[in-house]
Amino acid sequence: MSEDEDGVRAEFIAEAQEIIELLSRDLLVLDHGQKEGHPDPDLVNSVFRGVHTLKGIAGMFGFNDLGEVAHVLEDLLDQLRLGRTDLSQNVLDVLFEGVEVLQRLLGSAPDAPRPDLDAFFRKVGGELGGAPVVEPDLGAFGIDTGVLSVLTEYEEHRLKTNIDQGVPLYRVRVKYALTSIDTDLEDLKTRAKPIAEIITYLPSMDGGDDDAIELEVLLASRATADELKIALALSDDAELEAVAKREPSATIPPPARVPTQTPASPPTKHPSAPLAPSRDAGADALSLRAVAKTVRVDIGKLDHLMNVVGELAIVKSGVGRLLDRLRGDPEQRALIAELHRIHRGFERHLDDLQDGVLDVRMVPLGQTFDRLARAVRQVARDHGKEVRLAVSGADTEVDKLIVEELTDPLLHLIRNAIDHGIEPGDIRERRGKSRTGTLALNAYQKGNHVVIEIEDDGAGMDEELIVQSAVARGAIAAEGSADLARVDKLELIFLAGVSTAEEVSDLSGRGVGMDVVKTHIARLGGVIDVHSQLEVGTKFTITLPITLAIISALVVRAAGRTYCIPLTVVQEALLLDPADVRTVEGREVITLRGATLPICRIAQLFGLTPQAHDDERRGKEYVVVTSLGQRRVGLVVSGLEGQQDIIIKPLGKSLRKVRGFAGATDLGDQRVVLVLDAPSLLEELFLGGEARAARAGASA
């Protein structure tokens, strides 16, 4: 395949992916609406259009299987939106399965063997062709036959449904300037949405002049005329009247679907009127416009931009240093002032640029949450459990790279929660809980971090079972395991091979997973904590940096070397009083505001030998209090140089096995400085301690 074709293919996949995600989101809302008893017909139509578009582009790019699946889904959706099939849970199941199938087809290689779609096609076929609907007589209403004759099939269906449900109809005449009609109409639709359904709008026959056009809008609403007037912000010259049901009369001809059968009245659609094309085409045009406003960019290009920003920051600090050197010179005062001004301006714009580039990388977590919501539905059904998903903070933004890497760990946690956490309905009732379990997915920003919580109100975890499992698998020594704090016992589930599930299910409980989840999160510079209470529930809290690209760091010195510590893990820094240091179980600790804080000397940890010109050897020492999740440690350094924004760059592959460093950064004065990897250091310090304790226990 040529590069061009690859590019086109990638473009298709990206677009199809977007559509599928949108479909999934709409279906979830629809599912919710169906359960509550009033599904939004607009959503059915939106899903229909999405599938329709997907069918079109799939055909264009030769994704025939995908196109075929989209086609049968389109048929089903068409029947749904026209009311020929009822939106039942069964139908929704088929639709959700359809989205899964589409996703799978999109993910598979172009030359992969054709999957067996027949079973799915049969399922869709089973839902097609429901009972015929009893149609109300549209002619019984005071609606212009000219209007009736040009309704699209969908519009006609909506009109009938509203009449069926006894929703009063209104006719509104509004006049819009030709220049602003698009935005005016959008505005009207938005205003109408909460209280009324717009069935159709057509240019009226008599109104309108060269600059303005008069529209006749047919509305269905349970609100009163006055309420509508206010809600729609209608101007005084707009007419609003209720469409009354006429006395049964034989004089009105039955509504005709085909315009050619229309009696006397000429077609109301003026060919040159901007609203002339059918509504579906109008929607397509809208979506095309939306696409034109966004650009898909390879994240690599953004990384490159970020690098350029970094280089510029180095240039900036170079100029700054030059300025400092010039400052003493009284003869250059005017020049210095000018240079200072330029430098400040440069700094400001550079900050803007940096913010801009970072902003581009940010995407809302909502996309990931939608995928998870689909999984929740699926897993819950597979296990015959009733689960309600409560999502909050879907608009929380995170670096694109982080979002990509998050899906798998989150999926794993959610499966665990449904499989092991949430109990079957009967057991829940016996425990005095509602039959339906709740799985909450919350995201929010907290300083430079994003916190994601996965919380279930299920069975909770038995820490003694975890300890037994950990001991059985040799992850920890049996001796002393009983003395572990409760929190530490729960943390054992993150060790490889440890599981709480007594029985192995196909989904989770095989003892692989939680350690992988933890590794995944740690690779993103994040941490995961767990809280659990038996019969009350379990909550996992994931704390992640917002971006991987630029971070603020504390620049410190140890044994004559300079290191950076990401500020996100630094709680505070304070002077170390040697008199405060005590030794507990072979480890140095200090007491900080009543709490014991283990300390760790960077120079010792890294085996640094003092350098010849190291004048700090007998000087002051500082404690940088570092925390991640529930763990804290004080890193002892010999100097604090201040705070700086840095771009972390990866170390080369030959240094990949070196633990303790997240990367290196260029501080701008030709100094390359290592950035400490706080998660791995904390883990090393704490696990090291546990390993020592375990060894001590074993030899005792």
Residues near other proteins (CB under 8 A) are 307, 310-311, 561, 606-608, 649-655, 658-661, 663-664, 666, 670-674
The position carrying tokens 């405060």 is 580
Q: Minimum distance from CB of 637 to other proteins (Å)?
A: 14
Of 198 and 664, nearer to other proteins (C-beta) is: 664
Report the residue number, 222 or 659, with the smaller CB distance to other proteins.
659
Name residue, tokens 């949108």: 22
CB of 548 to other proteins, least distance (A): 15
CB of 560 to other proteins, least distance (A): 10
Tell me the closest approach of the beta carbon of residue 311 to other proteins, in angstroms.
6
User: Please, what is the minimum distance in Å from the beta carbon of residue 681 to other proteins?
Assistant: 11
- Kindly state the smallest distance separating residue 495's Cβ from other proteins, in Å: 24
Please, which residue, 92 or 636, has the CB nearer to other proteins?
636
Q: Which whole-number Å values give the CA distances from 609 to 606, 617, 618, in the listed order?
A: 9, 11, 14
Instruction: Report phi then psi at 637, rounded to 5.
Output: -130, 170
Residue 108 region by backbone torsions, left for phi larger than 0, else alpha for psi between -120 and 50, else beta? beta
Within 239-294, strands assigned E span: 239-243
Nearest to 286 by CA among 217, 176, 183: 183
How many whole angstroms separate alpha carbon 128 and alpha carbon 71?
13
- Shortest distance (Å) from residue 399 CB to other proteins: 20
Strand order from edge to edge, sheet including 437-446 = 387-392, 437-446, 449-456, 537-545, 527-533
Identity of the amino acid at 497: G
User: What is the nearest approach in angstroms of other proteins to the Cβ of residue 561?
Assistant: 7
Please identify, using beta-carbon distances, which residue of 269 and 561 lies nearer to other proteins: 561
Cβ proximity to other proteins: between 28 and 602 the closer is: 602
Nearer to other proteins, 588 or 666 (CB): 666
Residue 73 near residue 124, CB atoms below 8 Å: yes
CB of 608 to other proteins, least distance (A): 6
**At closest approach, how far in Å is the CB of 370 from other proteins?**
37
**611 CA to centre of own chain:** 49
> Can you give 614-644 as a three-state secondary structure string?
CCCCCCCCEEEEEEECCEEEEEEECEEEEEE
- 239-243, strands of its sheet edge to edge: 196-203, 212-221, 169-177, 239-243
Nearer to other proteins, 293 or 657 (CB): 657
CB of 96 or CB of 661, closer to other proteins: 661
- Asked whether 257 and 192 are in contact (CB, 8 A), the reply is no
How far is Cα 153 from Cα 137, in angstroms, rounded to an integer? 15
> Tokens 């079973």 label which residue?
119
* Distance between CA atoms of residues 458 and 370, nearest Å: 22
**Residue placing its CB nearer to other proteins in the complex, 598 or 660:** 660
Closer Cβ to other proteins, 411 or 608, answer by number = 608
Least distance to other proteins, CB of residue 315, Å: 12
| Pick 38 or 653: Cβ nearer other proteins | 653
What Cα–Cα distance (Å) separates residue 80 from each residue in 74, 92, 244, 535? Answer: 10, 11, 28, 42
Strand partners for 557: 562, 639
Report in angstroms how near the CB of residue 661 gets to other proteins at its nearest: 7
Q: Is 415 helix (H, G, I), strand (E, B) or coil?
A: helix
Closer of 618 and 653 to other proteins (Cβ):
653
User: With helix as H, strand as E and coil as C, how does 203-229 read?
Assistant: ECCCCCCCCEEEEEEEEEECCCHHHHH
Q: Which helix (H) or strand (E) holds 317?
A: helix 299-326
Question: Do the beta carbons of residue 396 and residue 451 sit within 8 Å?
Answer: no
Nearest approach, Cβ of residue 654 and other proteins (Å) = 5
- To the nearest 10 degrees (0 to 180), the angle between helices 514-523 and 678-699 is 140
For residues 380 and 603, which CB has a smaller minimum distance to other proteins in the complex? 603
Q: Please identify which residue in the block is written with the tokens 């240094």.
A: 655
Pairing of the two strands 587-592 and 397-399 = unpaired
Instruction: Compute the distance between CA of residue 489 and CA of residue 460 in angstroms, rounded to an integer.
Output: 14
> Min. distance of Cβ 624 from other proteins in angstroms?
17
Q: What phi, psi does 627 have (nearest 5°)?
A: -140, 145
